[in-house]
Structure 1
Amino acid sequence: MGISMPLKLLGLMACSSLLMACGGGGDSNTDNGGVTPPSTSLPRCTDSISPLLVTTSSSIRFQTEPTYVAGQSSAIIANILNRDSQNLTFRWQQIDGPNIQLVSQNSPVLAFDTPTAGGYRFSLHVTGSNLDVSGEIGINVDPASTGVLNVRQDHQVVEGNNVSLRLGQQSGLSAANISWCVASGPDLMVDLSDPFRPLFTAPSVAQDTITRLKVNASINGNSLSDDAFVLTTAAPAISSQYFDTPVARTHAYRPASPYANVLAGCVYSNQLNDSCTINTLPLIGQTSSDLNRETILNRVLVSHDWMGDNFAAFLAQMDPNSDFARLLQSVTAVVISYDVRPSFYWVVTGAIYLDPDDLWLTPSQRDTINEAPDYRSNFGDDLNFVMPWRYVKNNQYASLGVPITVRADRTLAQINPDLASLLYHELAHANDFFPRSVHASLTGPRLLDDYSRRNANKSLISDQVSTSYPLMSTEMMGLANVRFLGAAANNVQKAYQPSDVSTFFSTDIASDFYAYSSTREDTAMLFEEAMMSYRYQILRDVAVTNKPAVLTANTLVIDWGQRGRIAQDSLENRAALVIDEILPELDGISLIESLPEPIAMTQGQSWRQTLAISPANAQLKGQNNAPTNDVLPRFEPELHLSGDRHRHPQQ
């Protein structure tokens, strides 16, 4: 998590004072860091395929699959005759048949799973320049067959954007002998290193173009196949010096918002060439300080409506103290898009960008999120230690891990630990730059101009923290430069053992290794950990361990570790300063003193063994009326290393 210029050109400016880092709930797919992912030319299918069926309703043309089967992932593709979909607004609704959860109702590609056999009918309303048309389309769904192969999810993508598909498992049975081919459409170079998750870049097209892929596989001895449809849409040439690689189509979550017409152009556009003025898109807190959630939702930009729905539900149900409503006063917009990975805050636009992986509640919603992984260089490979972290409550992981292969729902309470920690961190950056106390004095004309003045005067909250309570370990700063910024490790750094790093870190006043990557991250880490402990009684573990060939919770051996380090006496004043400046409604010193005392880990135990180090049945201090995640995780979350939810741009 952190502050970022999100795309390639901005990565070249990594040393600029404008940014320190970015990050969030997943791996980045905006920059390959000089490492080319493996890919191969996908063969053309040799067997014949049934053509799509075409039905015309008004000026809308519907393309449907030859057959639909209950339980099978399916699609209907719409287009306007003699017109591409660029700058058109699509709105699908189901009007007949068993209820289907529609998660792509704003796309020309309506993707869905039909629950049972029978008749289904949908309406579509398309609007745009000199266009306002509606149409209806019906399909008949056959009963489920004995074996189903499912590729999720058919969707629309802008040319040049990343594409991922997911071959689903069936009732615990694993597909074998998997092969992919292009049935129709342009040739593709595809990464099949994981045959269950093909990855490719959408080809350049002169007009909206359907690519049809086919997968063949065997399940339990049965040969099965399925088609996947990707509509690659033409887009204007990229002119932005900021967003210089393709971004997904987005739209205002509230169409009637007074900012609906400027949101995308100001914060997520391949045609953005200069920051918008604060007259065009001010901070939320410059227009309203009453914490009205509708005012916030008027600034939400999404690629899929479910993202805005879940964010709205989170604000309504999981923010009883209005922390996030207050912190969001310091952003211009909230961008939630399937291709944002990882999450970040960016001072150039004043917006926060959220990875929807922290927001999905149903498998169908998760299907819409791009899975393209991060192929960045492995910084710090020459170092002899790692520093894992995790959030825990009642000696259990606070987060709910759900493997991508599992079709499971999540509740708002279950996503709360990950989403809350993400928001506390990213919004700490926004409030570091533009706390509510300065909103009335911002003069613009752009936020970037105000930032430049504040930065020159060393007026940021993080400047105050680093001046009053500076981090002292030059060794940790040098190691952070290697681990997070990609600097080459020198011989001294290569020789450091975990015991050396334990001494460097434990005797200084950082809450996490990542804090040494920049003063801005230092401030955000302090705020995030303090608020998670205070509001939710969720404690952060940090440790220094060995670096085995295979990193697991069992193979990492503790040299030094601590639970709830934020409450350590030596960190108290710096953490309290951050809280007082960002959330003056709270008393920083009182808050920190209310937190449970840190608990030391036992040297020589594994990372897994130290999970249950809190006293049994201990009543944690702090607030007790905040919502908590009382559902035990069904799956253990993945192992986290310091900084892995964060990404510094490549130099």
Structure 2
Amino acid sequence: MQKSLLNTKQKSLICSSLLLALFGCGGGSGNANNVPSNPTNPTIPSTNDPAPIAKVSSNNGFDFYGDAVGKVGQNIGLGIHHPSAAKLVDIKWTQTSGPDVDLIADHTNVIGFTPDLVGTYSFTVDARMCSSVQDNSCGSLSAANITINVDNQSSNASIRLDHTAVERGRVSFRVDPLNGKTIQSVDWEQAIGINNVQAIDIEEQENRLFFDAPVVTQDSILKFTATVTFSDNTSSTDDVYVGVRNTEIDDANGYFPRYSDNIVSENMFAYETNSPYAQAVERCVYTNQINRSCDFSELPLIGMQTMTPSIDDIMDRVLVSHAWMGERFRQYLTDSAVGPDMLNLLRGVTAIVISYEVRPSFYWAVTGAIYLDADNFWLTPLERDTLNEIPDYRSGFGSDLQFIMPWRYVKDNDYYPLGRYPVVERGSRNFADLEADISWLMYHELGHANDFFPPARWSSLSLNNSPLETINLPSITPDSDALASVYPLRSDEMHQLAQVNYGGDTATTGQKNTTADDVTDLFIPDLSTGFYNYYTTREDYATLFEKFMMKYRLDADSDIAIVSNNNNPDYNVTWGQRNRFNAPALQDRVLFTVNRVLPEIDAAAIQATLPAPQLMTAGNTWFENLTIGSAAKSAEQLQWTSAQMSAQMRQDVRIPTSHKDNDLLTNKK
């Protein structure tokens, strides 16, 4: 169990020990930028004489906790608990009266919703009680009812969002201002939870709260109260509830707890409940008990079953934490210009996992599945509210280096995706931005999948072997190994710097003294499309494929630059280039990957139609270099404030992928 959410060195050591089985991508829109104007220093929420959590109702042996009375426009939380059950399963909340509300997580112990109207709201909850953490100890369904009233008292703060986590799982809350208020500071207080349970190792970051759910021996519910002070010296309070699920965790042999230092959500379900693979998807790819790789006879690659999968075939392999995630994934496959590519590329996976707490996204060769951060899929503010906001643990890597290498996608000389969606504004996102946000990530992750299990290999795979057994065969090597042999990257210095920036290695004195000019001299003559290519051969391979496909299918240009960290507040570019992947010296490397990952397209003919690289203007800012060539922007478009530049640059230097090998792979280090 991690001792600190921001213990990046511990995380980096774990990451380094896992560098082959998991290949992950950051992704996500990264625009959750509603923060206090003058945030206080991080503090531990007050626990001085905390009050115990109080029941609001009981019915049919079940106890309810949460908001006894709700307010219009403020989030309401309700949780169900049974005092004699070790855990509850097969939970289903149903609204029976009152103005309609969206129960976006109606399968969990604790729900959150925001009423728009005054009224009386009633709900029925069905659940099965279990005498232990074992699912075979669970009885038949029972039902309980609860009613609450919502009045028209005003509130100026609302915490997003009451939900359920697994014990030792990651939890985040965010308090939002209402009615045009601006947050000055936030004070958090924790109540004593059911069975005297409390969270520890809690951190505040501005208007957000992060912690690991405590260990429990029975399902529990925790309560936190935020007291918010606004810039006009007024204040407001709100309560939030989190259910903590009692679960079986195999620390000794479980793949996720042991090899990826991750306790995963227990609120997962097959999106298509009638899928012939529903049980296998729920059992084989994302639990805290997985300690073996399921045979292909139980959960084959999609390409082992059909070379022309339909959207329905793909959706039969989708596992989600919330139903809306499956809906958005189907919409993406149906409506996106890249949909046909994705159907072909998804043949190389066993399953698609989309969850509120996956961060970063990744591909895992051990299960043959891809794992996607749901932050890439939201369209409505309520969908966004369900997402875990704990920062990517790698965000502090490379802070001792004197340079950064930002990257981005650009279309029509502007950011792609174009939209900006501050959380405080609670706006909906358009589909075009969803498509832009997820497509590069999908191309990248599926580049990994089709590296380990390329189309040329599917027909020869044995149903009696698992993905893990298959990739450990001496005769099986990822195609990225061949790329590194035939077209290697040359700079040892860049490889070592990448281990600092992406793997969390401690920088040497020489690396700390490496300047942007030094990096330019190393990078330009080499064959890489970006800094991350140097991290591993797997990332090099997937990134080459990603850049090519984004330009071909979506006409999205890819930018890379080298920028000094020293006294450079405007982020003036030392060197930069657009569409470097199509430089003559790199074209053979790109064809090597595309021909193997997606043989259905004529990569060479397409490559001949793609534009040549364009250099950025050295000395201009990273943002001024959005415009390259004859296109011109208005003065207004080129005016970035310091705050806007800093926020965007944090996004542009984000680590695109996380890459973890582990001891499960015997010959693929």
TM category (shorter chain) comes to 0.7 to 0.9
- Partner-residue secondary structure (3-state), 1:562: strand
Does residue 122 (structure 1) correspond to residue 123 (structure 2)? The answer is yes
Cα deviation for residue 587 of structure 1 reads 0.8
- Partner-residue secondary structure (3-state), 2:191: strand
Contact 1:45 1:183 in 2 (8 A): no
Residue 141 of structure 1 corresponds to: 150
Call closer, same or farther: CA 1:237–1:538 in 2, change over 3 Å.
closer
Contact 1:20 1:518 in 2 (8 A): no
Cα deviation for residue 490 of structure 1 reads 4.2
**2:198 corresponds to which of 178, 187, 206:** 187
Contact 1:302 1:335 in 2 (8 A): yes
**1:54 corresponds to which of 52, 57, 67:** 57
Contact 2:45 2:189 in 1 (8 A): no
Aligned pairs for 1:113-262 (under 5 A) are 113-126=114-127, 129-145=138-154, 147-185=155-193, 186-189=197-200, 191-219=202-230, 220-239=232-251, 240-244=253-257, 245-249=262-266, 250-262=268-280
**1:519 corresponds to which of 528, 537, 554:** 537
Larger CA deviation: 353-362 vs 397-406 = 397-406
Q: How many residues align?
A: 612
**2:585 corresponds to which of 564, 570, 593:** 570
Residue 640 of structure 2 corresponds to: none
Call closer, same or farther: CA 1:379–1:13 in 2, change over 3 Å.
closer
Aligned pairs for 1:29-48 (under 5 A) are 40=44, 42-44=46-48
- Partner-residue secondary structure (3-state), 1:140: strand
Larger CA deviation: 418-427 vs 480-489 = 480-489
Call closer, same or farther: CA 1:256–1:82 in 2, change over 3 Å.
farther
Return the alpha-carbon distance in structure 2 between the equivalents of residues 411 and 643 of structure 1: 23
Does residue 403 (structure 1) correspond to residue 422 (structure 2)? The answer is yes
Unaligned runs of 5+ residues in structure 2 are 1-9, 31-40, 130-137, 634-643, 663-669
* Alpha-carbon displacement from aligned partner over 1:328-362 (angstroms, at most 9, x marks no partner): 11111111112210000011111101111111111
**2:648 corresponds to which of 635, 638, 647:** 638
AA aligned opposite 1:155: H
* Alpha-carbon displacement from aligned partner over 1:269-289 (angstroms, at most 9, x marks no partner): 111112111112111221233
Return the alpha-carbon distance in structure 2 between the equivalents of residues 377 and 85 of structure 1: 36
**1:340 corresponds to which of 358, 365, 371:** 358
Contact 1:337 1:355 in 2 (8 A): yes
AA aligned opposite 1:601: M
Residue 622 of structure 1 corresponds to: none
Residue 627 of structure 2 corresponds to: 612
Residue 73 of structure 1 corresponds to: 75
Residue 446 of structure 1 corresponds to: 466
AA aligned opposite 2:601: L
Return the alpha-carbon distance in structure 1 between the equivalents of residues 11 and 453 of structure 2: 25
- Partner-residue secondary structure (3-state), 1:53: strand
Contact 2:296 2:467 in 1 (8 A): yes
Does residue 431 (structure 1) correspond to residue 433 (structure 2)? The answer is no
Contact 1:55 1:63 in 2 (8 A): no
Residue 100 of structure 1 corresponds to: 101
**1:385 corresponds to which of 381, 396, 403:** 403
Return the alpha-carbon distance in structure 1 between the equivalents of residues 327 and 86 of structure 2: 28
Call closer, same or farther: CA 1:175–1:492 in 2, change over 3 Å.
closer
Cα deviation for residue 387 of structure 1 reads 0.8
Cα deviation for residue 488 of structure 1 reads 4.2
Cα deviation for residue 85 of structure 1 reads 3.4
AA aligned opposite 1:40: I
AA aligned opposite 1:183: A
Call closer, same or farther: CA 1:255–1:604 in 2, change over 3 Å.
same
Call closer, same or farther: CA 1:593–1:381 in 2, change over 3 Å.
same
Return the alpha-carbon distance in structure 1 between the equivalents of residues 202 and 525 of structure 2: 46
Aligned pairs for 1:273-292 (under 5 A) are 273-292=291-310
Contact 2:560 2:576 in 1 (8 A): yes
Return the alpha-carbon distance in structure 2 between the equivalents of residues 157 and 644 of structure 1: 26
Return the alpha-carbon distance in structure 2 between the equivalents of residues 281 and 139 of structure 1: 45
Residue 602 of structure 1 corresponds to: 617
- Partner-residue secondary structure (3-state), 2:424: coil
Residue 282 of structure 2 corresponds to: 264
Call closer, same or farther: CA 1:345–1:20 in 2, change over 3 Å.
closer
Residue 18 of structure 1 corresponds to: 20
* Alpha-carbon displacement from aligned partner over 1:197-247 (angstroms, at most 9, x marks no partner): 111221122211221222223444444221111111211243434211421
Contact 2:28 2:437 in 1 (8 A): no
- Partner-residue secondary structure (3-state), 1:262: helix
Cα deviation for residue 606 of structure 1 reads 1.0
Return the alpha-carbon distance in structure 1 between the equivalents of residues 289 and 172 of structure 2: 25
Return the alpha-carbon distance in structure 2 between the equivalents of residues 217 and 491 of structure 1: 44
**1:534 corresponds to which of 532, 537, 552:** 552
Return the alpha-carbon distance in structure 2 between the equivalents of residues 284 and 299 of structure 1: 8
Return the alpha-carbon distance in structure 2 between the equivalents of residues 174 and 192 of structure 1: 22
Cα deviation for residue 643 of structure 1 reads 6.0
Contact 1:14 1:20 in 2 (8 A): no
Contact 1:572 1:589 in 2 (8 A): no
Call closer, same or farther: CA 1:298–1:11 in 2, change over 3 Å.
farther
* Alpha-carbon displacement from aligned partner over 1:127-169 (angstroms, at most 9, x marks no partner): 5844134455443321242x33211111111111121111111
Larger CA deviation: 520-529 vs 17-26 = 17-26
Contact 1:515 1:525 in 2 (8 A): yes
Does residue 91 (structure 1) correspond to residue 103 (structure 2)? The answer is no
Call closer, same or farther: CA 1:236–1:17 in 2, change over 3 Å.
closer
Return the alpha-carbon distance in structure 2 between the equivalents of residues 117 and 505 of structure 1: 62
Return the alpha-carbon distance in structure 2 between the equivalents of residues 526 and 276 of structure 1: 31
Call closer, same or farther: CA 1:320–1:352 in 2, change over 3 Å.
closer
Call closer, same or farther: CA 1:182–1:542 in 2, change over 3 Å.
same
AA aligned opposite 2:57: V
Return the alpha-carbon distance in structure 1 between the equivalents of residues 77 and 18 of structure 2: 46
- Partner-residue secondary structure (3-state), 1:77: strand
Residue 496 of structure 1 corresponds to: 514
Return the alpha-carbon distance in structure 1 between the equivalents of residues 372 and 545 of structure 2: 18
Cα deviation for residue 74 of structure 1 reads 0.3
Call closer, same or farther: CA 1:586–1:321 in 2, change over 3 Å.
farther
Call closer, same or farther: CA 1:558–1:92 in 2, change over 3 Å.
same
Return the alpha-carbon distance in structure 1 between the equivalents of residues 207 and 278 of structure 2: 38
- CA RMSD for the aligned pairs? 3.0
Return the alpha-carbon distance in structure 2 between the equivalents of residues 541 and 507 of structure 1: 17
Call closer, same or farther: CA 1:576–1:277 in 2, change over 3 Å.
same
Call closer, same or farther: CA 1:394–1:9 in 2, change over 3 Å.
closer
Call closer, same or farther: CA 1:63–1:486 in 2, change over 3 Å.
closer
Return the alpha-carbon distance in structure 2 between the equivalents of residues 211 and 546 of structure 1: 46
- Partner-residue secondary structure (3-state), 1:243: helix
Unaligned runs of 5+ residues in structure 1 are 1-7, 29-36, 619-634
